[in-house]
Chain A
Amino acid sequence: MPATYYQRSGLRRYFQETGEVWLFARRFFKEALHRPFEGKELLRQCFIVGNQSLFLVGMTGLIMGLVLTLQTRPTMEDFGAEAYMPAMVGVSIIREIGPVVIALICAGKIGSSIGAELGSMKVTEQIAAMEVSGTNPFKYLVVTRILATTLMVPLLVIFGDAIALFGSFLVEHMKGDVSFRLFFNKVFRQLGFGDLIPATAKTFFFGFAIGLIGCFKGYTSKKGTAGVGRAANTAVVVASMLLFVLDFIAVLVADIFFDL
């Protein structure tokens, strides 16, 4: 039968779900702009998102900076270009590696926890309980979380970038005896608005995507404990893929506007 055939088809499911995510996002904008606002819960979610990932982002950033510098330094030395190390590392971290790696970490940490939390609230009927008491669970649970990730992921990226640059400085300091001032002078001399603005702007979209997908997967998760696991798992997978797509789009757009 054609109906069952299409139902099994992954492609159809893909398009259907894309449509559902789109409607979910539209509902987010509608509800985010209308009173009442859940300000207190928003602050709490911001704190949770930041607090949850701060350590992880810091560790990742540090290692990213160390490794990147250790690995590229020999090559740069071969060309006698080790003086350009800070500039090179700065640009690659701030423009690309920092935002993408840290957003991926956040997708894993925050996306999965949002997916699991909302998923288990869904299957234990807590979301339904909010609804039947005449309150708006979408506002309370979804709007606050998406806003929180949209605001906090950029901050986490900035934090991670800073730690990564510091890690890079440590290596430069040990191997090349570069001072703190000199290192960061070189980094920032190289960076222009054309690097900073698109790099920061895209992290807002990354944060939005992480929150959106985590909430969507959790809020629409199916019955049963398996449903919760799947919600958490697919939240990470889909959000991570979406991050790369967004990154690609961001690079294209930046290319047009900032003429790199």
Chain B
Amino acid sequence: MEPLIHIENLYKSFGGLHVLNGFSLDLYDGENLVIVGRSGSGKSVLLKCIVRLLEPDSGALEVLGQPVPQLSQYEMDHLRTEVGFLFQGSALYDSMTVRENLEFPLRRHPEKMKGHDVGTLITSTLESVGLAHTVDMMPEELSGGMQRRIALARTLILRPRIILYDEPTSGLDPITAKEIIELMLRIQEEYHTAALIITHDMDCARVIANRMIILIDGKNYAEGAYAELSMSPDPRVRAFFK
């Protein structure tokens, strides 16, 4: 099976700081791949390379079979509609209502509406994250957990095939975090998306991961299922599971 995302030997540095040092991964359809790593290990940098918010220094990087660094702006914008991105801080447009937040990408990609009208799509997407009643609220009126859900809805509205989650549970209390994880699982079933999830929340990883990669020193340090890795004798791997 062709991987949805194929990364091989990816390098990225900022000045003298080598963040990614030959990182590789393959994400397959229907899979939840979790990447864990310490704060500052370059997890967000990796995701940003995938959607070309950052340019990698070298290495192969293909999304849905297309070489990301070589695409034209037009091709890239089209590819980006197939890849959802949930930001670490939700990144809702704070001068717009929830409705306008969801409308924003949709109106600029009318081909994604597939004959539905904007209103129906917004309502149904908000319903699937359980927040249909917030449609006319401003982001600042919502709690952190609700903002995260709206951000997810804004991602889902373009019906992406892959969703990249940057620490979906960071900054949330354990109960809200659990709700977000359940939501992510439900979304995956409802919308048939593959997910690349970055986290240092091991509870999240345990529930959601089909497969895990441990990122240390900018490389894949270890790889496997949660159960396998949690049994690992390697102290650097074990440190994540205490």
- Pick the contact of B91: A36, A117, A124, A135 (CB < 8 A): A124
Q: Which chain A residue has the least Cβ–Cβ distance from B85?
A: A132
Give per-residue flags for B39-61: 1 if the beta carbon is below 8 A from chain A beta carbons, else 0: 00000000010010100000000
With an 8 A cutoff between CB atoms, is B144 at the interface?
no
B105 near A128 with CB under 8 A, answer no
A133 near B53 with CB under 8 A, answer no
- Pick the contact of A133: B92, B94, B105 (CB < 8 A): B105
Give per-residue flags for A135-154: 1 if the beta carbon is below 8 A from chain B beta carbons, else 0: 11000000000000000000
B104 near A130 with CB under 8 A, answer yes
With an 8 A cutoff between CB atoms, is B240 at the interface?
no
Name the B residues within 8 Å of A129 (CB-CB): 85, 87, 91-93, 151, 154
With an 8 A cutoff between CB atoms, is A125 at the interface?
yes
Q: Which chain A residue has the least Cβ–Cβ distance from B155?
A: A133
Q: How extensive is the interface on chain B, given as a class?
A: 20 to 34
Q: How extensive is the interface on chain A, given as a class?
A: 10 to 19
B53 near A132 with CB under 8 A, answer yes
A128 near B87 with CB under 8 A, answer yes
Q: Which chain B residue has the least Cβ–Cβ distance from A135?
A: B108
Q: Which 10 A-B pairs have the closest CB atoms?
A: A134-B80, A133-B105, A134-B77, A129-B91, A125-B91, A132-B85, A134-B81, A135-B108, A132-B51, A125-B87
Q: Which chain A residue has the least Cβ–Cβ distance from B74?
A: A134
- Pick the contact of B104: A121, A125, A132, A135 (CB < 8 A): A135
| Min CB gap B55→A, angstroms | 13
| Distance A130 CA – B158 CA, assembled complex (angstroms) | 13
Inter-chain pairs besides A121-B93, A133-B158, 12 sampled, C-beta below 8 Å: A36-B108, A125-B89, A129-B91, A129-B93, A131-B51, A132-B83, A133-B154, A133-B155, A134-B105, A134-B158, A135-B104, A135-B109
| Min CB gap A42→B, angstroms | 15
Known: A131-B53, A132-B51, A135-B108. A126 touches B80 (CB 8 A): no
7 contacts between A and B (CB under 8 A): A125-B87, A128-B87, A128-B91, A133-B104, A133-B158, A134-B76, A134-B80
Q: Which chain A residue has the least Cβ–Cβ distance from B82?
A: A134
| Min CB gap A227→B, angstroms | 15
With an 8 A cutoff between CB atoms, is B78 at the interface?
yes
Name the A residues within 8 Å of B155 (CB-CB): 133
CB under 8 Å from chain A, chain B span 94-132: 94-95, 104-105, 108-109
Q: Which chain A residue has the least Cβ–Cβ distance from B158?
A: A133
| Min CB gap A212→B, angstroms | 21
A135 near B105 with CB under 8 A, answer yes
Name the A residues within 8 Å of B87 (CB-CB): 125, 128-129
CB under 8 Å from chain B, chain A span 94-144: 117, 121, 124-126, 128-136
Known: A124-B94, A126-B94, A128-B53. A133 touches B81 (CB 8 A): yes
| Distance A75 CA – B93 CA, assembled complex (angstroms) | 57
Name the A residues within 8 Å of B91 (CB-CB): 124-126, 128-129
CB under 8 Å from chain B, chain A span 52-110: none
| Distance A136 CA – B78 CA, assembled complex (angstroms) | 12
| Min CB gap B143→A, angstroms | 17
| Distance A131 CA – B51 CA, assembled complex (angstroms) | 9
CB under 8 Å from chain B, chain A span 174-191: none
| Distance A131 CA – B104 CA, assembled complex (angstroms) | 11
Name the B residues within 8 Å of A132 (CB-CB): 51, 53, 80, 83, 85
A134 near B109 with CB under 8 A, answer yes
| Distance A133 CA – B107 CA, assembled complex (angstroms) | 11
| Distance A167 CA – B229 CA, assembled complex (angstroms) | 79
Name the B residues within 8 Å of A131 (CB-CB): 51, 53, 80
Q: Which of A36, A134, A136 neighbours the largest number of chain B CB atoms within 10 Å of its CB?
A: A134
Q: Which chain A residue has the least Cβ–Cβ distance from B108?
A: A135
| Distance A200 CA – B94 CA, assembled complex (angstroms) | 36
